[in-house]
Amino acid sequence: MTEFLDKLRAIIGERGLITDEPGKHPYLTDWRENYLGTALAVVRPASTAEVADVVKLCVAEKVAIVPQGGNTGMMGGGTPRQNSREIVLSLNRMNRIVEIDPIGYTMTVEAGVILKTIQETAARHDRLFPLSLAAEGSCSIGGNLSTNAGGVQVLHYGNARQLVLGIEVVTPQGEVWDGLRALKKDNTGYDLRDLYLGAEGTLGIITRAVLKLWPKPKDTATSWIAVPSPEAAVALLSGAHAASEDNVTSCELMGRQGIDLVLQHIPGSVDPLTERHDWYVLLEWASTRARRQGANETGLAEKMEAYLGEALETGLVLDAALAQNEAQARAFWALRENHSEAQKREGPSIKHDISVSVSKIPAFMKEGLAAMKKVLPECRPVPFGHVGDGNLHFNCQSPPGWDKPRFMAYSEAISSAVYDLVVSYGGSISAEHGIGQLKVEELVHYRSKIELDTMRAIKRALDPLNLMNPGKIIQV
């Protein structure tokens, strides 16, 4: 053990190694504090070569590796297990922007760069990197790619997988695969890139990436809208595509329960509307074309106002507030983005990150809420999500005052009820959060033996010693 640590120290130096318990602690528990694992050490390499050397050492010593980015995952994919011979390999020192190419609309980054830094770097070059999610201030791009993160702009730009041209990966053997190609077209054999993306670090460690950039939006309109029902939200979105000239970038649905939690727990939160409503939509349109000067020019704000005005008349919308400036737009977004944090502060909750086809959302919502209540009538459902992607965070807060063990006793029954329903709708039991540790059993339950066997065959082929994030996604 001491010998192993000495060898690690020889590779990454003293400052790259954390061995004391208080120092290790933040790396051993997940963001939601559902898991607490153990690790021989937390290893923080500063370069791809160091990552490769660490992996080679681990292969020689038969020590497993848990790659970790910003440690903001929801499924425990970046958290080590208990009492295993594992290290946590944190990418957080590999945080350099390697190159930005505004003309070619690409940016090359190391895995540990914080998502927000990437967004800001793109913006400084008048470009947009569209991946955007609540944890963007602390999550890192390596983790985003390893989990194929979603977020609030998928509707317009796609999942993380669609935002990448090339990646560099350290394989489970400690070799470096240089797939850092800034190419839009490359038909030369198997698509290894898309295999590593979304593999949650079980097939290798993403160390660098070439990201795609987009033109920066120059005209944005954001509204906070009360709607009578999820049906109305879907209909509102459906009409918005044409009304905005295909410029809908976000469409988020929220129930009143979540808003109440945010208003209660997040200081500075204000309800944009005077009356209480059951359902809300946060709608954002963005165009890359700047508003031009002139009295007759209709920008997105005018177009959105006209659209919502019509919707008020037809009853699709009950009330609405159009952001008059960026601060207001940010305040609307904070209400949406603070759902997870508010739920955490309120107490224990069970999360379901599911997707169905968009047109099935209203029916699913109705049946799903009933299904949760049937298991535990006092539970408090907190549904919200990316309605345009068919993706709902179909969460459930504990009854007031319940502690975690008491509530978690119902966890399996509530989740089974939700997932059975999702599967009967042809949906996905993990739309964007992945599998990690939390959904390993569910995946086995809901996916075919053929699919699982194929995944196992791939895992065994690329990681025969099962040292790369073992026990995550799938048991071999």
Partner 1 sequence: MPDIAIPSIPTVPVTPAVLEGLRAIVGDKGLILDEPGKQPFVTDWRGSLVGSAAVVVRPANTDEVSRVVKLCFDNGVAIVPQGGNTGLMGGATPYPTHSGIVLSLGRMNHVLEVDPVGYSMTVEAGCVLQTLQETAASHDRFFPLSLGAQGSCMIGGNLSTNAGGVQVLRYGNARNLVLGLEVVLPNGDVWNGLRSLKKDNTGYDLKHLFMGAEGTLGVITKAVLKLWPAPKDVATAWLAIRDPQAAIEVLSEAHAASEDNVGSCELMSRTATEMILRHVPGTQDPLKADTPWYLLLEWSSSRLKPEGGEGMSEKMEQFLADQMEVGRVLDAVIAQSEAQSRNMWRIREGAAEASRAEGPGLSYDVSVSISKIPSFIDKGIRAALDILPTIRPYPLGHIGDGNIHFSFMGPKGMDRETLHQYAPAITRAVNDLVRDMAGSISAEHGIGIDKIDELAHYRSRIELDTMRSLKRALDSKNIMNPGKILRL
246 belongs to the binding site for partner 1 (CB under 8 A): yes
Told to check if 103 binds partner 1 by CB under 8 A, we report yes
Q: In the set 270, 295, 327, 461, which binds partner 1 (CB under 8 A)?
A: 461
- The gap between the terminal CA atoms of the chain, to the nearest Å, is 27
Instruction: Name the 3-class secondary structure at 332.
Output: helix
Task: For residue 117, state whether it binds partner 1 (rule: CB under 8 A).
Answer: no
- 119 contacts partner 1 (rule: CB under 8 A): no
Q: Does 475 bind partner 1 (CB under 8 A)?
A: no
CB of 98 to partner 1, least distance (A): 13
3-state secondary structure of 97: strand
The CA distance from 79 to 37, in Å, is 7
Q: Which of 72, 79, 144, 159 binds partner 1 (CB under 8 A)?
A: 159
Burial class (CB in 10 A: 0-12, 13-18, 19+), 97: middle
> Rounded to the nearest whole angstrom, what is the least distance from the CB of residue 337 to partner 1 in the complex?
18
441 near partner 1, judged by CB under 8 A: no
Q: Which of 46, 192, 273, 375 binds partner 1 (CB under 8 A)?
A: 192
Binding segment for partner 1 (CB under 8 A), chosen from 116-124, 132-140, 186-194, 395-403, is 186-194
CA atoms within 13 Å, Cβ hemisphere of 59 = 16
CB closer to partner 1 out of 37 and 436: 436
Among 114, 106, 154, 109, smallest CA distance to 130 is for 154
Q: Does 179 bind partner 1 (CB under 8 A)?
A: yes
107 binds partner 1 (CB under 8 A): no
Which residues from 369-408 bind partner 1, rule CB under 8 A?
Answer: 386, 389-391
Per CB under 8 A, the list member of 116, 218, 291, 404 interacting with partner 1 is: 218
The reply to whether 431 sits near partner 1 by the rule CB under 8 A is: yes
Report the SS3 class of residue 54. helix
Shortest CB 271 distance to partner 1, Å: 29
DSSP string, 230-255: HHHHHHHHHHHHHHTTS-EEEEEEEE
Q: Which is nearer to partner 1, 191 or 310 (CB)?
A: 191
Q: Where are the alpha helices (DSSP H) in 276-429?
A: 300-314, 326-337, 339-346, 361-375, 404-408, 411-424
388: which residues sit within 8 A by CB, 6+ positions away? 154, 155, 237, 248, 250, 251, 358
Size of the site for partner 1 (CB under 8 A): 83
